[in-house]
Structure 1
Amino acid sequence: MAKTSGAFMRRRTLLLGMAATSLAATARPGFAQGDLLPSWNDGPTKRAILDFIARTTLSGGRDWVPVPERIACFDNDGTLWTEQPIYFQIAFALDRVKALAPRHPEWRTQEPFRSVLADDRAALAALGEKGFIEIMAATHSGLTTEAFTKTVLDWLATARHPRFNRPYTDLVYQPMIELLALLRAHQFKTYIVSGGGIEFMRPWTERVYGIPPEQVVGSSGVTRYELRPDGSPVLMKEPKVMFIDDGPGKAVGINQYIGRRPVFAFGNSDGDQQMLEWTAAGSGARFMGLVHHTDAVREYAYDRPSLVGQLDKAWDEALRRSWTIVDMKNDWKVIYPFELK
């Protein structure tokens, strides 16, 4: 047994060494060449990730996963980029209300739009989910899918985060960018499975994360096929919800749009609990991870009592089932790519 174990360890070390060579060309300046996750501090979290990848990609190993089954699913908000002080798609929707207000003079006295135009965040919060759904419906419909894509990209090019004064796409997590690349280098197919709108994310995820639009699963609204007078077909966005990809919906969305159960999944909140449970319920080697926001200086610190990204029930389950928990303050050397410049 000892001889077999030693051989396994040597093969795993060789595997990691080969991966290090292939990724060395993309290593950031200032980090040691060959570090597979250079923005991660050495410790049990980093070791758990590297060990899982090594075990599941070692041909002939006990935990080997065939390439077609190497499915890795990531939440977006709070897992791949910052989600505070409000979800970025909501920030987009609020800005769209202001941009569209000249066409809708009735909004000056009509809620929830009145509160948006008055920048009355307390009144807006009091309107709750119903108010935000109405805002999303008004600002995400009445456009062709192509026009909506352009609107999203134009906003991302000009909008700035209120705390960091940087484009929202600058606020992606460098350690997770490295993890996505490492998984793909080992023939994992990486997906986003997010409560965010699918058509809000798809225009930019390939450029920012290397995840193409067909590998993005998210909440979606109804679209309608329409022929224009010149005979050209378009898809029109309607103010109706078709699918909510959050909570239990994430497991449903994975089954419906991916068709394979993930072997690797990462989230950060109670909205990801069912996705992690669904991943864990499969046979063979599984990895379930949660990002815990513990760094108020470099990012934000929050968990259970949070209006955005609440980590309560999923936190308890992660502790009970020994899922991997990333402590942002202690596990990440840097948080954002711009910290490396």
Structure 2
Amino acid sequence: MIRRHLLSLLGAGLLALWTSPAPVQAQSPASDPLPSWSDTAPKRAIVDFVARVTREGGPDFVAVEDRIATFDNDGTLWAEQPVYFQVAFALDEVKRLAPRFPEWKDKEPFRSVVEGDLRALLTAGEKDLLEIMSVTHSGMTTAEFMKAATDWLATARHPTKGRLYTDLVYRPQIELLGYLRANGFKTFIVSGGGVEFMRAFAERVYGIPPEQIVGSSGVTKFQIGQDGKPVLLKEPEVAFIDDGPGKPVGIDRFIGRRPIFAFGNSDGDLQMLQWTAADDGPRFMAIVHHTDAEREWAYGRQSHIGRLDKALNEATARGWTVVDMKRDWKKVFAFEP
């Protein structure tokens, strides 16, 4: 996975990976189809759009087979601070794998990761970060990678929230996914994150099956294993980057239908939103704006992770829906009181 700018993975975000977690509380039950959404313009726009495209005989009716909804993952369906969660996985994988590679104790960037040397990590370059991602995402079968990712997701906890990473999915978006599917939509993830990493949790957490995930991917090679059974081996070579202008390409290549509903949160999603908006008929384009420093994080135009600048300008100019997290979501996470 190469998410937007690898150099942006450094900075204050890495510092949080070694801090103590904060206490959290359990959620309270909700009842209506979108209970975690405030009764503000974004919720009303969503409900109105769904009603229009599902009203048979209406001027905006869309056949079920064309009700395609695409969602970015990082920052749109789950949190992405202080670093992308797949990067946190890669750093933890270096520590887990270190006993197999004793030479890492004297080799950068692995020495810094294993020893928690923040000063060295903060000055690491793109080459070092690529090496960390390569080592932790290749040289194994796809089944072995899936097990490593699944095991990590079952136990690893966010450095400041103290929760499993899969607890940090956005409750309003889970409700929205279910609402769309209940109205005949087919929901897809279209993300710059690694497709195999997302497959380790997306069906269980989002209800989105593996075949409806479009993401960045590496080269895999078919071979016969030592036990005589065929395997797919992950190689240290990038096959496809599903970010920025790669998102419309990925949608066309792997979905084959243009979405009528697209949701993102950053400039990396701009081209997906533009591609969705460009066709005739009813279209819905939306952006999550991270404005809640108390419940989540507040960031946008100047952020190195999830930067929202050009996409926010275009959304404002073209009348796309901008979801203000602080104002428009009653809940952010399910564990909130």
Query: How does the TM-score come out when normalised to structure 2?
Result: 0.89
Larger radius of gyration: 1
Q: Any idea what the Cα deviations from partners look like across 1:86-129, whole Å, max 9, x if unmatched?
A: 00000000001111112223323333223322323453343344
Corresponding residue number in structure 1 for 2:233: 236
Tell me which of 275, 278, 292 is aligned to 2:289.
Answer: 292
Cα gap change, 1:89 to 1:29, in 2 (>3 Å) = closer
1:178 maps to amino acid: E
Q: Could you tell me whether the CA contact under 8 Å between 2:70 and 2:261 is conserved in 1?
A: yes
Corresponding residue number in structure 1 for 2:22: none
Corresponding residue number in structure 1 for 2:35: 38
1:312 maps to amino acid: D
| Cα separation, 2, equivalents of 1:122 and 1:213 | 38
**Equivalences for 1:7-26 in 2 at 5 Å?**
none
Tell me which of 99, 112, 116 is aligned to 2:113.
Answer: 116
| Cα separation, 2, equivalents of 1:90 and 1:44 | 35
Cα gap change, 1:114 to 1:189, in 2 (>3 Å) = same
Alignment of 1:272 onto 2:266: no
Alignment of 1:86 onto 2:83: yes
Percent identical residues: 66
Unaligned regions of 5+ residues in structure 1, if any?
1-27
Alignment of 1:247 onto 2:224: no
What SS does structure 1 have at the residue aligned with 2:335?
helix
What SS does structure 2 have at the residue aligned with 1:226?
strand
Alignment of 1:153 onto 2:153: no
| Cα separation, 1, equivalents of 2:178 and 2:150 | 24
| Cα separation, 1, equivalents of 2:118 and 2:84 | 14
1:192 maps to amino acid: I
Q: Report how many aligned residue pairs link the two structures.
A: 311
Cα gap change, 1:107 to 1:271, in 2 (>3 Å) = same
Q: Could you tell me whether the CA contact under 8 Å between 2:28 and 2:336 is conserved in 1?
A: no
| Cα separation, 1, equivalents of 2:167 and 2:28 | 18
Q: Could you tell me whether the CA contact under 8 Å between 1:124 and 1:131 is conserved in 2?
A: no
2:49 maps to amino acid: F
Structure 1 range deviating more: 114-123 or 73-82: 114-123
Q: Could you tell me whether the CA contact under 8 Å between 2:262 and 2:285 is conserved in 1?
A: yes
| Cα separation, 2, equivalents of 1:325 and 1:131 | 36
Alignment of 1:281 onto 2:278: yes
Alignment of 1:206 onto 2:236: no
**Equivalences for 1:125-164 in 2 at 5 Å?**
125-164=122-161
| Cα separation, 1, equivalents of 2:124 and 2:277 | 37
Structure 1 range deviating more: 209-218 or 141-150: 141-150
| Cα separation, 1, equivalents of 2:141 and 2:28 | 43
| Cα separation, 1, equivalents of 2:223 and 2:328 | 50
Query: How does the TM-score come out when normalised to structure 1?
Result: 0.88
Corresponding residue number in structure 2 for 1:12: none
2:94 maps to amino acid: V
2:173 maps to amino acid: M
Q: Any idea what the Cα deviations from partners look like across 1:197-239, whole Å, max 9, x if unmatched?
A: 0000102101100000000000000111011243210101111
| Cα separation, 1, equivalents of 2:259 and 2:277 | 9
Tell me which of 172, 175, 181 is aligned to 1:175.
Answer: 172
Alignment of 1:105 onto 2:95: no
Cα gap change, 1:336 to 1:328, in 2 (>3 Å) = same
Q: Could you tell me whether the CA contact under 8 Å between 1:195 and 1:246 is conserved in 2?
A: yes
Alignment of 1:332 onto 2:294: no
Corresponding residue number in structure 1 for 2:65: 68
| Cα separation, 1, equivalents of 2:29 and 2:100 | 52
Greater relative contact order: 1 or 2 (C-alpha under 8 angstroms, separation 6 or more)? 2
2:207 maps to amino acid: G
Alignment RMSD = 1.4
Q: Could you tell me whether the CA contact under 8 Å between 1:195 and 1:219 is conserved in 2?
A: yes
**Equivalences for 1:185-204 in 2 at 5 Å?**
185-204=182-201
